[in-house]
Amino acid sequence: MLKKYIAIVTGGTRGLGAAIVHQLASNDWNVHFTYQSDEQSANDLLDKYENVFAYKADVKDYKRTREVVEEVISIEGKIDCLINNAGIKRDKSLGFMNERNWRDVIETNLSGVFNYSKFVGKQMIKQKTGVIINISSISAFIGLKGQTNYSASKAGVNGFTKALAKELGPNNIRVNSVCPGFIKTEMTEQLNETEMIQDITLGRFGSTKEIADVVVFLISNKASYITGQTIIVDGGLAI
């Protein structure tokens, strides 16, 4: 890849977000990532790469989102790629799910995508180029007990992706979503892997690198004719 491409990655300190930051930084991108609370992991990334920059910011915070995007633009002068990765789970059966469980998940997983896409999208329209990747989930398609909030948020991300791709396509901006299945991260540690892999065609959980590889492909020129798509990367879970 060419040097000095600029990316923003939300939720970049853990799991898939950290894997994406590593992949891009290793390929000479300047990577600006957000995080909410994990100072140690953020500092570890900053220590490892000279071309990585951190911003403490909650993706739910509309005003803070604008500040982060404006700061990146002031430093770099452009944004080539936005990866909306930040997401949370608050799993409970609907009867026991309180309003905060619902709102926190919807506002983080879906409104956070809106916030960053709005402000980065404006810059990309000025540039007449750019790529937005939204990290969704297989839960948008199959649903799991206790995940009405999470499944709803990720299904919303997929619909958002298709609509935004139509809006931004005339400006040479591509928008796609990636839908991971069961990936080994902190978010899946509580799952019974032995039981869950019985439904996965390839018989195993995926790795964060496998998802990051798909993301890197989608932002590259090799995927220059792909937009408005939801790419499922689930080892055959949803077949």
Share of the chain above pLDDT 90, in %: 92
Within a domain: residue 1?
no
144-167: per-residue pLDDT in tens?
Answer: 899 999 999 999 999 999 999 999
Does the pLDDT at position 198 exceed 50?
yes
Within a domain: residue 228?
yes
Rounded to an integer, the average pLDDT of 161-175 is 98
H runs (alpha helix) in 128-147? 139-142
Q: Which residues are CB-neighbours of 218 under 8 A, at least 6 positions away?
A: 131, 133, 174, 176, 178, 226, 231
Q: Enter the pTM of the model.
A: 0.95
Does the pLDDT at position 190 exceed 80?
no
Which residues are bridge partners to 34 per DSSP? Answer: 55
Within a domain: residue 177?
yes
* CA nearest to 232, candidates 214, 207, 208, 209: 214
Q: Which of 5, 35, 116, 150 is catalytic?
A: 150
Q: In terms of residue numbers, what domain contains 155?
A: 6-233
Confidence at residue 144, expressed as pLDDT on a 0 to 100 scale: 86
Within a domain: residue 238?
no
Does the pLDDT at position 228 exceed 70?
yes
Grade residue 2 by pLDDT with cuts at 50, 70 and 90. very low
* C-beta of residue 183 within 8 angstroms of C-beta of residue 16: yes
**Mean pLDDT in the chain?**
95
Within a domain: residue 239?
no
Query: 133 — phi, psi (to 5°)?
Result: -120, 125
Query: 120 — phi, psi (to 5°)?
Result: -70, -40
72-111: per-residue pLDDT in tens?
Answer: 999 999 999 999 999 999 999 999 999 999 999 999 999 9
Grade residue 188 by pLDDT with cuts at 50, 70 and 90. low
State how many domains the chain has: 1
12-31: per-residue pLDDT in tens?
Answer: 999 999 999 999 999 999 99
Q: Is 150 a catalytic residue?
A: yes
CATH number of the structural domain spanning residue 12? 3.40.50.720
Confidence at residue 187, expressed as pLDDT on a 0 to 100 scale: 65
